[in-house]
Amino acid sequence: MRMMKEEIEEQTREEELLSFPQTQQQSKLVVVGYALTSKKTKSFLQPKLEGLARNKGILFVAIDQNRPLSDQGPFDIVLHKLTGKEWRQILEEYRQTHPEVTVLDPPYAIQHLHNRQSMLQCVADMNLSNSYGKVDVPRQLVIERDASSIPDVVLKAGLTLPLVAKPLVADGSAKSHELSLAYDQYSLKKLEPPLVLQEFVNHGGVLFKVYIVGEAIKVVRRFSLPDVTKQDLSTSAGVFRFPRVSCAAASADDADLDPCVAELPPRPLLERLAKELRRQLGLRLFNLDIIREHGTRDQFYVIDINYFPGEVWENAGVRAHIYRLPIKPDTEPVQEKVLLSDC
C-alpha cells in the first residue's frame, strides 16, 4: 500500500512538471524519455538514481510504445535499448524530424556492436600504441556454418589453442553472453556456428570493465577465466561452457590480487581509446572488456564491446550515476552537462 501511494505521488509530481509551459519547463528541466525493457528499467531506474536526477533537475519519463513517439514529450534526450527493425525505423524517423533531441544512441551505430566480427575491427584498425601501452584485439576467426570444417579452418588460419568461442550475434540476450573454451582440435567440431573464435590470452584471471558515458570513464575489475598452462593443454580436452563471465557478481575490486594483475590500465591510454571509439563508433554510452596479457605491464586486448551495459548502475562505486549526457543535437558540436555523479 505504501509503495502504491509513493508511486501515485511520484506520478502526480511528474504530471505537474510536464504540465508546465514549455519555456518554463525547458529552463528548469532536462527531460529524458526512456524506452527500455522491463528488466533494463528495473536495473537502470533505481530509487537512488531517480533521487539524484530530481535534485539535478532531470526528469525521466517512460516512452509509451503504443503511441507515436512524435506525439510524446517534448524530450531533450531519448535513452533507449530496444531491439527490432520496427523500433529502429521509428527512432530513425524521429531523429530526422526532431534534430533538436539527442538520441542515445543512434540505432545504426548500435547495430555495429551486434556483430562480433565487426565490433572489434575499429580497435584493430586503430593500432593504438603510445608510451602508456599498446591496445590490440586477439586474433580471431569467424565461422558461419559447418562445424565439421572448423578444425581445418583453424589450422589454416594458424590460430593457437585454446580458443574462446562466442556467438557471432551479440544482441544482449542470455545466449549471446555464453562462451566456450575449446582445448583441442577434435573438440572444435562440437561448437555451434555461427560464432567467433578468439585466441585465448592469459590475463591473470582478471579483466577490466571500462564504462564510458560521454567523456566520463569508470573502470572496475572483474574475475574472468583462469590462465591456461601448457600442462592444462596437455591434460585437458573437450569444450568447457560458461553461461556468463565477468558479470557484476564477479567483482574483483576488493579481492587480494597480485598487484601486477590488479593494476588498472593507464588512464591516458583509456582516454585516448575511448575518444577514438566514440568518434569511430558514434556511441556515447557503452563499455569495453579489456584484459592485460599476463607477464606484461602494457599489452592490452579489447575482447568485447557492449552498448548501454546494465552493470554500470549496479556495481559498487558506479551505482546510480550518469556522468554526462549531451543536451545538444547530434548535428551540432556536443556540449555536455554534468548530470549525476555518485563516485
Q: What is the DSSP string of 133-202?
A: EEEE---EEEE-S-GGGHHHHHHHHTPPSSEEEEESB--SSTGGG-EEEE-STGGGGGS-SSEEEEE---
Highest mean pLDDT (candidates 24-38, 262-276, 301-315): 262-276
73 labeled part of a ligand binding site: no
177 labeled part of a ligand binding site: yes
pLDDT above 70 (res 294): yes
pLDDT above 90 (res 241): no
pLDDT above 50 (res 339): no
Decide: residue 299, CB within 10 A, 0-12 exposed, 13-18 middle, 19+ buried.
Answer: middle
334 or 54: whose pLDDT is higher?
54
209 labeled part of a ligand binding site: yes
227 labeled part of a ligand binding site: no
Mean pLDDT of 174-180: 81
> Residue 135's pLDDT is what?
97
33 labeled part of a ligand binding site: no
Confidence of residue 20 (pLDDT cuts 50, 70, 90): very low
CATH topology of domain 112-323: D-amino Acid Aminotransferase; Chain A, domain 1 (3.30.470)
2-11, 253-262, 282-291: the lowest-pLDDT one? 2-11
206 labeled part of a ligand binding site: yes
> Residue 22's pLDDT is what?
42
84 labeled part of a ligand binding site: no
C-alpha cell at 140: 580471431
Confidence of residue 161 (pLDDT cuts 50, 70, 90): very high
Chain mean position to CA 128: 20
69 or 246: whose pLDDT is higher?
69
114 labeled part of a ligand binding site: no
190 labeled part of a ligand binding site: no
pLDDT above 50 (res 282): yes
Q: Do domains 27-104 and 112-323 have the same CATH topology?
A: no
Beta strands, E only, 216-298: 216-223, 239-242, 285-292
304 labeled part of a ligand binding site: yes
337 labeled part of a ligand binding site: no
Question: Can you give the residue ranges of every domain in the chain?
Answer: 27-104, 112-323
Residues in the chain, total: 343
12 or 109: whose pLDDT is higher?
109
> Residue 244's pLDDT is what?
62
130 labeled part of a ligand binding site: no
70 labeled part of a ligand binding site: no
Asked if 339 contacts 321 with a C-beta cutoff of 8 angstroms, the reply is no
238 labeled part of a ligand binding site: no
Beta strands, E only, 75-147: 77-80, 102-104, 128-130, 133-136, 140-143
Asked if 328 contacts 301 with a C-beta cutoff of 8 angstroms, the reply is no
| Tally of CB atoms within 10 A around 282 | 14
Mean pLDDT of 210-214: 91
The C-alpha cell 518554463 sits at 24
200 labeled part of a ligand binding site: yes
Q: Among 238, 229, 158, which residue's Cα sits nearest to residue 197?
A: 158
**Assigned architecture for domain 27-104:** 3-Layer(aba) Sandwich (3.40)
pLDDT above 80 (res 274): yes
pLDDT above 90 (res 100): yes
Work out the mean pLDDT of the chain and round it to a whole number. 81
310 labeled part of a ligand binding site: yes
Per DSSP, what are the bridge partners of residue 32?
60, 77
What 3-state class would DSSP assign to 297?
coil
C-alpha cell at 122: 575499429
Contacts of 262 (CB under 8 A, 6+ apart): 206, 221, 252, 255
Per DSSP, what are the bridge partners of residue 181?
164, 240
**pTM assigned to the model:** 0.81
pLDDT above 60 (res 335): no
156 labeled part of a ligand binding site: no
247 or 218: whose pLDDT is higher?
218
Distance, in Å, from the CA atom of 286 to the CA atom of 217, rounded to the nearest integer, reads 10
8-12, 60-64, 209-213: the lowest-pLDDT one? 8-12
Confidence of residue 310 (pLDDT cuts 50, 70, 90): low
pLDDT above 90 (res 103): yes
